[in-house]
Chains A and B, each alone.
Chain A
Amino acid sequence: MEKHSGYMQALRCRECGREYPLTATHVCEFDFGPLEVVYDYNRIKKSLTREVIQSRPKSMWRYRELLPVANGPTIGLEVGFTPLIKADRLAKRLGVREVWIKNDAVNYPTLSFKDRVVSVALSRARELGFDTVACASTGNLANSVAANAAAAGLKAYVFIPTDLESGKIINSLIYGANVIGIKGHYDEVNRLCAEIAGKFDWAFVNVNMRPYYAEGSKSMGYEIVEQLNWKVPKHTVVCMASGSLLTKIHKSYQEFIQLGLAPGTDYKIHGAQATGCSPISTAQKAGLDFFKPVKPDTIAKSLAIGTPADGFYALKVMKDTGGAAEDVSDDELRESIRLLAETEGIFAETAGGVTVGVARKLIASGAIPEEDSLVLCITGNGLKTLDAVSGHVGQPREIRPSLREFEALVAAEARPIKA
């Protein structure tokens, strides 16, 4: 490469190690293995210290040397550095010493962790000269691509299954993006997009831009470590759709340890899925290092990927770190959305209910010991999946604007119920 490429050196196949130039390409020509960005860690180590990081604005870009853009970010400069909340009331209910919530339900600008990956993918797409961006999405990614492309003046095409939650569809349309509904589930949207990406010269964030895009997820892990005062947490529970986020949280911890930004320590990464789409957790529980694709059937639509592209690597991360996996039913995840809301005042989307529900199971089974501390990665906002809980959270009690009626209501509810 003639051009300046920042701290990146090449793209490398995760399967066979063949290297490729830093272009918009995502699979190895030889074995279709995913390509990953290779960095010059020796140079990064010289310039990236805790002091340097702390001197920068509170966004994901304070770790910019470890993110794959050559000339610094141009899109999504304010993304990230979401709150890490010490969740004592939830910890008590789960029966564990300490729980932290990494709350990407309030990520900027579209209320999910996808703003992290999109900020990287669009900044890199612009560096590579694209004027149109696109994605295949279960909803959150579409929202983020649509919003960030609008703010950057890029054209956007987003492809989604037609049966998504209405909140997620409107949240893409509002930004003026071209929203294409596909009559099929996400795996079918994905397959079509792979074919479209081969024909159109667009930056498809999770197809040809995937090596860059996926790296954006690492910033969630860097922030967790920094916010825990530069310590890698003993347990992290991450929801799994393609499995990419889980592998990148692991990579972020590894990089911080390798760069001396956090002390080396044992940690476990645990994976969470919905029972109605659980190819990875099913394989993990059976002790397999490969998964069987499934046809998704769950209200956790953001996790409904039956053929998870990073499933093999997610299984390896759980195996290597000693982590476990579990899955929860639609009823259990709904209940867990309420538990998180009622104990911590955080309204997570369905994926967050999966993460909390699985944490509860892993604590109950002893996979996470009760004397330990854990971080829950909450990836999206409940306001986008209202359909999933509507009808399960009760109704407002209606009265006329009369003090007497209100007093009667309070008195009626205070009356002890006879057995």
Chain B
Amino acid sequence: MAKTVRIPTPLRKLTNNEEVVQVNAGTIGEAIAELQSRYPGIRERLVDDKGDVRRFVNVYVNEEDIRFLKNQQTPLQDGDEISIIPAIAGG
């Protein structure tokens, strides 16, 4: 079984409007690389020049923010769900 990535609206132009994409990567960093190989251009939307996840991009594995896990080294298991979400204002 693979891992599922939910693609947010602003990035769907790059994924031919696919909302959900499967990857086989072992970590978040590898998942970003795998997405880039299939959807060229997606990497620079997610990470900055230094290779860090952009400051307004939040990445979650099974609902947990990767900044509470191991950032891009966060390991992925089969069946994991990855969400990529813009930061949202308060309420």
**Could you tell me the distance in whole angstroms from the C-beta of B7 to the nearest C-beta in chain A?**
9
Say which residue of A187, A210, A312 sits within 8 Å of B55 (CB atoms): A312
Chain A's closest residue to B11 (CB) is A29
Q: Which residues of B (1-42) have their CB < 8 Å from a CB of A?
A: 6, 8-11, 13, 19
A198 with B9: CB separation less than 8 A: yes
**Could you tell me the distance in whole angstroms from the C-beta of A205 to the nearest C-beta in chain B?**
8
CA–CA, A195 to B9, complex, Å?
Answer: 9
B87 with A309: CB separation less than 8 A: yes
B13 with A310: CB separation less than 8 A: no
Q: Which residues of B contact A140 (CB under 8 A)?
A: 91
B89 with A244: CB separation less than 8 A: yes
Question: Residues of B within 8 Å of A, CB-based: how many?
Answer: 26
0 or 1 for each of B56-91: is its CB under 8 Å from A? (1 = yes): 111010010101100000000000000101111111
Q: Which residues of B contact A292 (CB under 8 A)?
A: 67
CA–CA, A167 to B66, complex, Å?
Answer: 34
Give the number of residue pairs across the A-B interface with Cβ within 8 Å: 98
Chain B's closest residue to A306 (CB) is B65
Would you call A186 an interface residue if the criterion is a C-beta within 8 Å of the partner chain's C-beta atoms? yes
Would you call A135 an interface residue if the criterion is a C-beta within 8 Å of the partner chain's C-beta atoms? yes
**Could you tell me the distance in whole angstroms from the C-beta of B16 to the nearest C-beta in chain A?**
15
Q: Known contacts A188-B63, A191-B63, A293-B68: does B56 contact A305 (CB below 8 Å)?
A: no
B89 with A309: CB separation less than 8 A: yes
Would you call A136 an interface residue if the criterion is a C-beta within 8 Å of the partner chain's C-beta atoms? yes
B56 with A141: CB separation less than 8 A: no
Say which residue of A28, A191, A206 sits within 8 Å of B89 (CB atoms): A206
B91 with A34: CB separation less than 8 A: no
Q: Which residues of A contact B55 (CB under 8 A)?
A: 290, 312
Say which residue of B45, B68, B91 sits within 8 Å of A32 (CB atoms): B45
**Could you tell me the distance in whole angstroms from the C-beta of A283 to the nearest C-beta in chain B?**
12
Q: Known contacts A191-B60, A191-B63, A290-B55: does B45 contact A31 (CB below 8 Å)?
A: yes
Q: Which residues of A (133-186) have their CB < 8 Å from a CB of B?
A: 135-138, 140-142, 184, 186
Say which residue of A32, A33, A188, A305 sits within 8 Å of B90 (CB atoms): A305
Would you call A214 an interface residue if the criterion is a C-beta within 8 Å of the partner chain's C-beta atoms? yes
B88 with A207: CB separation less than 8 A: yes
CA–CA, A34 to B10, complex, Å?
Answer: 12
B56 with A15: CB separation less than 8 A: yes
B10 with A27: CB separation less than 8 A: yes
A34 with B13: CB separation less than 8 A: no
**Could you tell me the distance in whole angstroms from the C-beta of A15 to the nearest C-beta in chain B?**
7
**Could you tell me the distance in whole angstroms from the C-beta of B28 to the nearest C-beta in chain A?**
16
CA–CA, A28 to B8, complex, Å?
Answer: 12
CA–CA, A292 to B13, complex, Å?
Answer: 31
Say which residue of A32, A114, A138, A188 sits within 8 Å of B86 (CB atoms): A32
0 or 1 for each of A196-213: is its CB under 8 Å from B? (1 = yes): 001000000011001001
Q: Which residues of A contact B68 (CB under 8 A)?
A: 293, 295
A32 with B56: CB separation less than 8 A: yes
Say which residue of A138, A184, A295 sits within 8 Å of B91 (CB atoms): A138
Q: Known contacts A135-B91, A206-B89, A309-B90: does B65 contact A293 (CB below 8 Å)?
A: yes
Query: What are 22 sample pairs from A and B whose C-beta atoms fall under 8 A apart?
Result: A28-B10, A30-B45, A31-B45, A31-B54, A32-B54, A33-B56, A135-B91, A140-B91, A190-B88, A190-B91, A191-B60, A198-B9, A198-B19, A206-B89, A210-B88, A241-B91, A244-B89, A293-B68, A305-B90, A307-B87, A309-B90, A312-B55
* CB-CB nearest 10 A-B residue pairs: A242-B90, A309-B87, A141-B91, A137-B91, A241-B90, A32-B56, A27-B86, A29-B10, A198-B9, A206-B89
Given contacts A33-B56, A198-B19, A206-B88, 14 further A-B contacts (CB under 8 A): A26-B86, A29-B13, A138-B90, A142-B91, A191-B63, A206-B90, A210-B88, A241-B91, A290-B55, A295-B68, A305-B90, A307-B65, A310-B89, A312-B55
